[in-house]
Amino acid sequence: LVALLVAEPGQLVYLEQPELHLHPRAQAALADILADAANRGVRVVAETHSDLLLRRIQSLVAEDKISHDKVKLHWFTRGEDGITKVDSADLDDAGTFGDWPEDFGDVDLKEESRYLDAAESRLWKRSHGG
């Protein structure tokens, strides 16, 4: 993080999974720091598995706190043949970019859906004497 704060315009800062061991609130704040650095002209490359970090960047673009032109997304997927495929996406001014990669955020969404289904079932049974 210090590198982001002291980097000069044009300088490249690479961060590998900067969200590791951070509370979700801190992950969101990290996105703000990344955006601030990019707005100062720092070239930031952040390798992440955090859909929360990405969602916050999308929000910052939609709120016009960072230009969509300063954000580029890349997904790396290893095929069954062992070859890595790179898919890229640009954000528009609303922070949208099309489809998420098949497995990105998939676990969170499935677990949230599983929990909501189970809770709804439990509450329905409770309210109907079951």
Q: Are residues 59 and 18 in the same domain?
A: yes
Q: Tell me: do 108 and 94 sit in the same domain.
A: no
Residues 58 and 31 in one domain: yes
Extract the tokens encoding 39: 């707005």
pLDDT, the chain, mean: 89
How many distinct structural domains can be found in the chain?
2
Q: Give per-residue pLDDT as tens, 45-98.
A: 999 988 889 989 999 999 999 999 999 999 888 889 999 999 888 899 999 887
Whether residue 115 is predicted with pLDDT greater than 90 in this model: the reply is: no
Which residues constitute the domain of residue 108? 102-130
Dist. CA 31–CA 52, nearest whole Å: 9
- Is the same domain home to 51 and 7? yes
Rounded to whole angstroms, how far apart are CA atoms 31 and 54? 8
pTM: 0.76
- Residue count of the chain: 130
* C-alpha span between 44 and 11 (Å, rounded): 8
Judge if 95 and 121 occupy the same domain. Answer: no
47 and 60 share a domain?
A: yes
CATH number at residue 12: 3.40.50.300
Distance CA 28, CA 48 (A): 13
Q: What is the CA radius of gyration of the chain?
A: 18
